[in-house]
Structure 1
Amino acid sequence: MAEAEASKCLLALLNGVAQQLYFDKTEVTQDFLHGQLFPDMARDHFDAFYHKMTALLKSIATADMDHAQLEAFLTAQTRKQGAGGVDLEQAAALSRFWKSQRVRVRESLLSHSRWEPGLRGLSWRVDLQTAAGRGPVALMEMELGGGGQDSRFVCVEMDEDQVHQVLKKMADVQASIDAILQRT
């Protein structure tokens, strides 16, 4: 019975850590988790345990581990028990937690990594203005929005030099993305 209770408390701790890290639940604090789940554990032991579980959960979530990766990771963690690893019960709890929460954690990480508002659409045209003697003018209309918000439209007018500057910046961004992709 004590083993089952410890497993429930560990799962609750992992859920609490996930609430803090990925679901913005500020009311779930380290003190709260200690008092509710492990009140009999010395504070320094709880703090070390809490930080170890937090680090493991961050590693698992950052890598978005699938079942095979998770099992390999947890097997490696059980082998280094004395050096900050986990025991079999803790590995089983981490595995159960990740199997049930992987999708939610991944969605949270993705939503936190998006810029808001995002670019929903882009249209442009070039107008020739002969009466004033100006050269061609590019008009770019961007549709911005995100997260269920109504769209906002922004219209930008650019001359030929400004268009070239924008195109250069876009080429620089593309080169940076390509360089990152080549490293991975």
Structure 2
Amino acid sequence: MAAPAAVDKTLLAFLNGIAKRVYFKDDSISDELLRTEVLGGISETEFNQKLRRFQLLLNSIATADMNYNQLDAFLKSQMQKREGALTASEAATITKFWQSHKSKIHDTLVKDSTWDNQMKSLNWRIDVCTKARHLDQLNQPTAIVEMKLEQGDLIRFELTQQKLEGLLEQVDAIEQAITTHSQS
């Protein structure tokens, strides 16, 4: 059995630099820094080719949120390409990089793709009216719903049984739409 390929520390530093700049929005990581300090001053043409190649690879891996089996299959397919195939050392380096950055990059991508408040918690209770001006409102249950959002906002509202049924129908429609789109 062959020994595992060695990790290329220069490539690992280059991938870390790309990740810091692209995913973690670190503006201090410039092309010039990556080219001269990390890659030892390679030509601009070589640098641009290498940058494009590894940015595309990282983008494919990150947007697919690849698990380690998927990553292994993806890297093997990249190693079998006729032109621009990955070396075993490059594949081992990408694997090491992804092992240490997968969750941080995933969290950043999720955060960046969320445009509005996210619900932090949901609490509810049922109240029964014991005093009312009108007899038909007496002993009618209502749901009191309280949603806390991540930015600290609190939304509180009441639902009668009919309004709750309407809300649940809408939630079912949303669930069906999500299921339909996630299967295609």
TM-score by length of 2: 0.71
Deviations 1:95-120 (A, max 9, x none): 22223333433444455556643240
The 5 A counterparts of 1:22-101 are 22-38=23-39, 40-82=41-83, 84-101=84-101
Percent identity between the two aligned chains? 23
Q: Which amino acid aligns with 1:56?
A: L
Q: Which amino acid aligns with 2:93?
A: A
Partner of residue 3, structure 2: none
Q: 1 or 2 for the larger relative contact order (CA 8 Å, sep ≥6)? A: 2
Deviations 1:44-68 (A, max 9, x none): 3312211210111122233333443
Structure 2 Cα separation of the partners of residues 119 and 71 of structure 1: 35
Query: In structure 1, the residue corresponding to 2:146 is in which secondary structure?
Result: strand
Partner of residue 148, structure 2: 144
Query: In structure 2, the residue corresponding to 1:60 is in which secondary structure?
Result: helix
Task: Report the Cα offset of residue 81 of structure 1.
Answer: 4.7
Partner of residue 8, structure 1: 9
1:102 and 2:102 are equivalent in the alignment: yes
Query: In structure 1, the residue corresponding to 2:157 is in which secondary structure?
Result: strand
Consecutive unaligned residues in structure 2, runs of 5 or more: 1-5
Task: Report the Cα offset of residue 164 of structure 1.
Answer: 5.0
Task: Report the Cα offset of residue 168 of structure 1.
Answer: 3.2
Structure 2 Cα separation of the partners of residues 42 and 49 of structure 1: 11
Structure 2 Cα separation of the partners of residues 162 and 16 of structure 1: 52
Going from structure 1 to structure 2, the CA distance change for 1:75 and 1:167 (only over 3 Å counts) comes to closer
TM-score by length of 1: 0.71
- Aligned-residue Cα RMSD (Å) equals 3.4
Going from structure 1 to structure 2, the CA distance change for 1:170 and 1:68 (only over 3 Å counts) comes to closer
Going from structure 1 to structure 2, the CA distance change for 1:32 and 1:134 (only over 3 Å counts) comes to farther
Q: In the alignment, is the contact (CA less than 8 A) between 1:137 and 1:157 conserved in 2? A: no
Structure 2 Cα separation of the partners of residues 162 and 53 of structure 1: 52
Structure 2 Cα separation of the partners of residues 26 and 124 of structure 1: 48
Q: In the alignment, is the contact (CA less than 8 A) between 2:14 and 2:38 conserved in 1? A: yes
Q: Give the helix-richer structure, 1 or 2.
A: 1
Consecutive unaligned residues in structure 1, runs of 5 or more: none
The 5 A counterparts of 1:164-175 are 165-175=166-176
Q: Which amino acid aligns with 1:120?
A: S
Partner of residue 156, structure 2: 155
Q: In the alignment, is the contact (CA less than 8 A) between 1:144 and 1:152 conserved in 2? A: yes
What is the total number of aligned residue pairs between the two structures? 175
Deviations 1:68-101 (A, max 9, x none): 333322221122151x432333223212222333
